[in-house]
Amino acid sequence: MAEFDQDHENADVKDAEGATAQTSVTTLFVMIKSLPRIAHGRDLRLREGDIIVAIDGALNELDIDAFRGLCEQAKEDAEPLLLTICRGDVIYDVLIEGRLGAELEYANAEASVAAQTLLSKHHIGPKDHYRNYEALRDIRRHVVLYDTAYSAIATLAPPIWLLQHRAWEPMAAVIAAYATSAVVHWGVFVATAILMAIYFHRIQFRLIRNYSLFTEHYFWHVCAARSAAEAQLVCRQLDPYCYFDFSHVGPPAVAKNEQQTRQKKQNAAEPA
Number of C-beta neighbours around residue 145 at 10 A? 22
User: What is the Cα–Cα distance from 222 to 168, expressed in whole angstroms?
Assistant: 24
Q: 64 and 25 in one domain?
A: yes
pLDDT of residue 159: 92
| Identity at 198, one-letter amino acid code | I
C-alpha dihedral, 95 to 101 to 105 to 109, nearest 10°: -10
- Whether 6 maps to a domain, the answer reads yes
Q: 119 and 147 in one domain?
A: no
- Whether 243 maps to a domain, the answer reads no
Q: 136 and 117 in one domain?
A: no
User: What is the Cα–Cα distance from 18 to 54, expressed in whole angstroms?
Assistant: 25
For the entire predicted model, the pTM comes to 0.78
Q: Compute CA distances 160 → 97, 115, 194, whole Å.
A: 30, 42, 16
| Identity at 197, one-letter amino acid code | A
The enclosing domain of 74 has a CATH number of 2.30.42.10
- Considering only CA atoms, which of 207, 171, 205, 178 is closest in space to residue 193? 178
| Angle subtended at Cα 65 by Cα 61 and Cα 69, rounded to the nearest 5 degrees | 95
Q: 6 and 122 in one domain?
A: yes
Q: 115 and 85 in one domain?
A: yes
Q: What is the pLDDT along the chain (272 residues), one digit of tens a residue?
A: 333 344 444 444 444 444 344 444 457 899 999 999 899 999 999 999 999 999 999 999 999 999 999 999 999 988 999 999 999 999 999 999 999 999 999 999 999 999 999 999 999 999 999 999 999 999 999 999 998 888 889 899 999 999 988 889 999 999 999 999 999 999 999 999 999 999 999 888 888 888 988 899 999 999 999 999 999 999 999 999 999 988 999 898 775 545 555 555 556 555 54
pLDDT of residue 22: 42
Range of the domain at 162: 132-238
| Identity at 181, one-letter amino acid code | S
pLDDT of residue 254: 73
User: What is the Cα–Cα distance from 113 to 107, expressed in whole angstroms?
Assistant: 10
68 Cβ neighbours under 8 A, 6+ residues apart: 99, 104
User: What is the Cα–Cα distance from 24 to 20, expressed in whole angstroms?
Assistant: 6
Q: 125 and 8 in one domain?
A: yes
- Considering only CA atoms, which of 97, 92, 103, 167 is closest in space to residue 136? 167
- Whether 248 maps to a domain, the answer reads no
pLDDT of residue 208: 86
Q: 92 and 47 in one domain?
A: yes
